[in-house]
Structure 1
């Protein structure tokens, strides 16, 4: 576990290798909700918890062995105060995160589960190849059984 629900995120990290997922835990493990993934060469953080300095409402979990480089909240604030490039990188990273989240939200509201699944092939091909199907099902908002039916229809 990278971060447990209820803990405050103190780091932004860069994944050198490995895969992680964002998950809302449930009493019944089969009902957990996966709402995001991070891969090699991507930044990872429970960013809302990091920014607000409040406990996370979800877990951040490594799905594979993971190597990350991390910077603490305090150190990042120092970088922002004293460097122009730090501010630029921070702004660009925040903008990228916003666009990813906005695109996902619109997808959940405007597309069918089949359309969301098919889009994964073009938008995030690594996700389809490296993530267990039960997590992909949760990510697109369907049960594993419904994902199985979608996959049969496509083939």
Structure 2
């Protein structure tokens, strides 16, 4: 839980009273590798902080899933659009490794917003960070070649290259695993 407090302390003045309310709502959950946290069609009820592990966001397909996001230790994970709108998710979330999450459910987060001075700031900051990750990826898909996307990933989020299977990386940058192998061979 100290990691979460430090995460927010870097951005907002988090006093002990607000932290007490916030931390009292957190629930620790541990998951094995390849655990589906949210199935397509379910409503996301949690905003989770990753203490340990990694999670991918993807659209399940019969042949090849379409991976469009990853979250790692020290980051928040949620099917945030479903969480906000209370509507069924069009995608799934799954652990890639053994993962420990600190989870807030939707109603508890609403209570934090009401009862604390910094609750709304925490919500805004979390939403902004999730938005920026999504926006950068979309812009990269529009502007960059597959090779450029791979090189940017390697520079900006090296943990992806270390922790994520190549078939998911290939899907994430929009190529087949074979094309990713050719890219990797060309740049090595």
Q: What TM-score do the two structures reach when normalised by structure 1? A: 0.96
Cross-structure match for 1:63: 96
Cross-structure match for 1:45: 78
**2:112 matched to 1:79?**
yes
Correspondent of 1:5 among 40, 61, 64? 40
Tell me the distance in 2 between the aligned counterparts of 1:10 and 1:127.
26
**2:141 matched to 1:108?**
yes
Instruction: Tell me the secondary structure at the aligned position of residue 37 of structure 2.
Output: coil
**2:129 matched to 1:91?**
no
**2:180 matched to 1:150?**
no
Cross-structure match for 1:25: 60
- Number of aligned residue pairs: 153
Tell me the distance in 2 between the aligned counterparts of 1:69 and 1:98.
20
Tell me the distance in 1 between the aligned counterparts of 2:93 and 2:80.
11
Deviation digits for residues 89-123 of structure 1 (CA, Å, limit 9, x no counterpart)? 11111111111111111000000000000011111
Deviation digits for residues 25-77 of structure 1 (CA, Å, limit 9, x no counterpart)? 0112xx21000001111101000000000011011001111110101100101
Correspondent of 1:128 among 139, 161, 164? 161
Runs of 4 or more, structure 1, over 4 Å off, are none
Tell me the distance in 1 between the aligned counterparts of 2:106 and 2:55.
20
Tell me the distance in 1 between the aligned counterparts of 2:126 and 2:117.
14
- Specify every segment of 5 or more residues in structure 2 that has no aligned partner in the other structure, as ranges: 1-35
Instruction: Tell me the secondary structure at the aligned position of residue 48 of structure 2.
Output: strand
Cα RMSD after superposing both structures: 0.7
